[in-house]
Structure 1
Amino acid sequence: MCTRRRVASDTRTWRSLSHRQQARLRADEEFAFLSDPPRGPVIEVRSADGTRIHTEVFGPEDGHPIVLSHGICCAIRFWSYQIAELSRDFRVIAFDHRGHGRSGRPPAGGYTFERLGDDLDAVLRHTVRPGERAIIAGHSMGGIAIQSWASSFPDNVGRYAEAVALINTTPGDLLPHLPLPGSVPAQVLDRITRVAMSALGGLPVPPRLPLRAQLLDPVTVGRQASPAVRAAVREMILTTPTATRGGFLRGLSGLRSSDHDLADLMVPTVVVGSESDRLLPFAQSRRIESGLPASLGLITLAGGHCGPLEQPGRVTDVLRDLASSKARISTTA
């Protein structure tokens, strides 16, 4: 079951910015755009466990479908640039993952990557019409959701997906592949990290967290990220519910590459990584690309973890190429 309604556009309130900070950015056109992102008709989707998944559709009714799956502590607005550009020619479908944005909070135990795969499958079933196949793009945790979906619903991969883009994401086993200093044994480091992520992820964080720029910017965006992009990323992270942040951070710390089988992604898949990504380093993208059965190649972006916001034109071009069924995708940054 799904219902459809329209949401009027309105300027978002910035909970993580003071009035003085907003005043300093008011003349910035990019800040104005990210303050009032695109809005589309809403389709309320219910996942397998009953969680409400807020979904919006943009662009022409008869357009080729492109489905966008955002990362941890983000929301539909993360894809604002891609939605604005691609919806001119394509039917863009974007949704808030469970516990994020305007989607419902799941029942106890519902913050798992397997459930994210259920959510994506529910969105596809309600928005991709018979005879259609979509371009499915996932950033960070959204890319993990695609991998989980393919492993849980292998028969649906060919049914719903024409091609896939995995952006700034990982197959799992993060700790052994992170460039961490010191000689701490891997098992000890793994335990320490799990406890730290569980504790810190579950702590309430005020939207105007002191030193939020110093704490968040180095691991979320590259040095060249604009003030508006930095503000948008902090806003999404700091306004994500504590239970959501903690639940998925715990899951991420324990994610193993054996949890999902990349061989299930039997459709053409392009991998996009950023050269200065400190959260999920470029090596993670290289690992994914090497395990794909139908790889279209590995694209390198400048900047940090938030490629679709930091390099919007490049990411948009990749998705446009996929949706336009071009035979080759340029892999130059």
Structure 2
Amino acid sequence: MTTVVASDSRAWRSLSHRQQTRLRADKDFALLSDPPRGRAVEVRSADGTRIHTEVFGPEDGYPIVLSHGICCALRFWTYQIAELSSDFRVIAFDHRGHGHSGRPAADGYTFARLGDDLDAVLRHTVRPGERAVIAGHSMGGIAIQSWASHHPENVGRYAEAAALINTAGGELLPRLPLPVHGPAGAQALDRITRVAASAIGSLPFPPRSPLRAQLLDPVTVGRQASPAVRAAVREMILTTPTATRRRFLRGLSGLRYTDHDPADLAVPTVVIGSESDRLLPFPHSRRIESRLPVSLGLIQLSGGHCGPLEQPGRITDLLRDLARRAGKLTTTA
């Protein structure tokens, strides 16, 4: 495993100097402006796409692997990395097309490929004989489910336990309320929905757009989210390449429960949802939990879609508990 110190810039691109000055009174702003920097690891996925990966904390610490959601990056886990890396080896990565990872060919923006990316990260960072706690938020949770379905032979090898946060298994977008007649009609509606999602994903979002808060905040975070958290979520979304947004949104719009099965994630798993999540409402979490072979429970938090940012203490404590119970979960579940 080759490592170098990560040296990427974390400057705000969506905030003016005046806006940053206003936010300095927010206690969260300092950490979110200067998140921890890890040791970069060279990882290549099965199709050759470069997956930017960073490792934080002691080299001999128990591994916790973090998988972020759509239009985010590894900095989404800033609170968890800052707290957990004092005791654990925290491994976080940018999904393909996000952050500092490479952009694949046009046909490489699939959930099977996301599962391949996670598998590559695990192979490069989890040592022989080790097993990790693997946590995924939103699309990152879908990536974990995809990994389990496409690489079932590696689930028991690399995973000790898992946490699926504000995520779903399929049917993310509601069907359009139009009459359908038979399979052909249903297929036509699927195509319309996917084209609509692709069009929305293609809309230009200038990082300094004056409407960014009105457009993004109501669906991404809850009412109690701090101004700095709101700004951080907007920053990640607005600086995600348009091609990434378009292609993954198109894929999400067509995702079905039959594409992968939470039952393939055959390790102790906790499912966490939020009561005011407008993107992936709590019933998605309930459905996933019902399919798990080894459930550690279903937890509902207050707040919106970005649980690890909105409820950082709760999520961090849950992951710490999973890691501290390492070795006991499989034998007692």
Distance 1:185 1:22, change over 3 A: farther
SS in structure 1 at match of 2:107: coil
> Quick check: 167-176 or 138-147, which moved more?
167-176
Is 1:283 the counterpart of 2:283? The answer is yes
Q: What does 1:160-179 correspond to in 2, within 5 Å?
A: 160-176=158-174
Question: Which one-letter code corresponds to 1:154 in the other structure?
Answer: P
Query: In the alignment, what sits opposite 2:220?
Result: 220
Query: What is the rounded CA distance, in whole Å, between the counterparts of 1:254 and 1:131 in structure 2?
Result: 38
Query: In the alignment, what sits opposite 2:193?
Result: 193
Query: In the alignment, what sits opposite 1:331?
Result: none
1:254, distance to aligned residue in structure 2 (A): 0.2
Unaligned runs of 5+ in 2: 181-185
Query: What is the rounded CA distance, in whole Å, between the counterparts of 2:210 and 2:325 in structure 1?
Result: 47
SS in structure 2 at match of 1:99: coil
Query: What is the rounded CA distance, in whole Å, between the counterparts of 1:235 and 1:140 in structure 2?
Result: 17
Query: In the alignment, what sits opposite 1:273?
Result: 273
1:190, distance to aligned residue in structure 2 (A): 4.5
Q: Give the TM-score normalised by the residue count of structure 2.
A: 0.93
- Which of 63, 66, 75 in structure 1 is aligned with 2:73? 75
Query: In the alignment, what sits opposite 1:295?
Result: 295
CA RMSD of superposed structures (Å): 1.7
Question: Which one-letter code corresponds to 2:283 in the other structure?
Answer: A
Query: In the alignment, what sits opposite 1:158?
Result: 156
Percent identity over the alignment? 80
Give per-residue Cα distances to partners, 1:40-71, cap 9 Å, x unaligned. Answer: 11001000010000000001111100000000
SS in structure 2 at match of 1:32: helix
1:23, distance to aligned residue in structure 2 (A): 1.3
Query: In the alignment, what sits opposite 1:205?
Result: 205
Query: What is the rounded CA distance, in whole Å, between the counterparts of 2:178 and 2:22 in structure 1?
Result: 45
- Which of 104, 119, 122 in structure 2 is aligned with 1:121? 119
1:8, distance to aligned residue in structure 2 (A): 4.2
Question: Which one-letter code corresponds to 1:15 in the other structure?
Answer: R
Query: In the alignment, what sits opposite 2:259?
Result: 259
Give per-residue Cα distances to partners, 1:202-233, cap 9 Å, x unaligned. Answer: 23321112311011001000010000000000
Question: Which one-letter code corresponds to 2:227 in the other structure?
Answer: P
- Which of 55, 58, 61 in structure 1 is aligned with 2:56? 58
SS in structure 1 at match of 2:123: helix
1:127, distance to aligned residue in structure 2 (A): 0.4
Question: Which one-letter code corresponds to 1:4 in the other structure?
Answer: T
Query: In the alignment, what sits opposite 1:147?
Result: 145
Unaligned runs of 5+ in 1: 329-333
Query: What is the rounded CA distance, in whole Å, between the counterparts of 1:281 and 1:184 in structure 2?
Result: 22
- Check the 8 A contact 1:175/1:190 in 2, yes or no: no
Query: In the alignment, what sits opposite 1:318?
Result: 318
1:189, distance to aligned residue in structure 2 (A): 5.9
Number of aligned positions between the proteins: 322
Question: Which one-letter code corresponds to 1:243 in the other structure?
Answer: A
Query: In the alignment, what sits opposite 2:250?
Result: 250
Question: Which one-letter code corresponds to 1:108 in the other structure?
Answer: A
Q: What does 1:221-236 correspond to in 2, within 5 Å?
A: 221-236=221-236
Question: Which one-letter code corresponds to 2:2 in the other structure?
Answer: T
Question: Which one-letter code corresponds to 2:258 in the other structure?
Answer: S
1:193, distance to aligned residue in structure 2 (A): 2.9
- Check the 8 A contact 2:194/2:251 in 1, yes or no: no
Query: In the alignment, what sits opposite 1:34?
Result: 32
Query: In the alignment, what sits opposite 2:183?
Result: none
Question: Which one-letter code corresponds to 1:250 in the other structure?
Answer: R
Query: What is the rounded CA distance, in whole Å, between the counterparts of 2:11 and 2:34 in structure 1?
Result: 9
- Which of 91, 102, 105 in structure 1 is aligned with 2:103? 105
Query: What is the rounded CA distance, in whole Å, between the counterparts of 2:163 and 2:128 in structure 1?
Result: 22
- Check the 8 A contact 1:3/1:45 in 2, yes or no: no
Query: What is the rounded CA distance, in whole Å, between the counterparts of 1:174 and 1:99 in structure 2?
Result: 21
Query: What is the rounded CA distance, in whole Å, between the counterparts of 2:115 and 2:124 in structure 1?
Result: 14
- Check the 8 A contact 2:67/2:93 in 1, yes or no: yes
Query: What is the rounded CA distance, in whole Å, between the counterparts of 1:64 and 1:148 in structure 2?
Result: 24
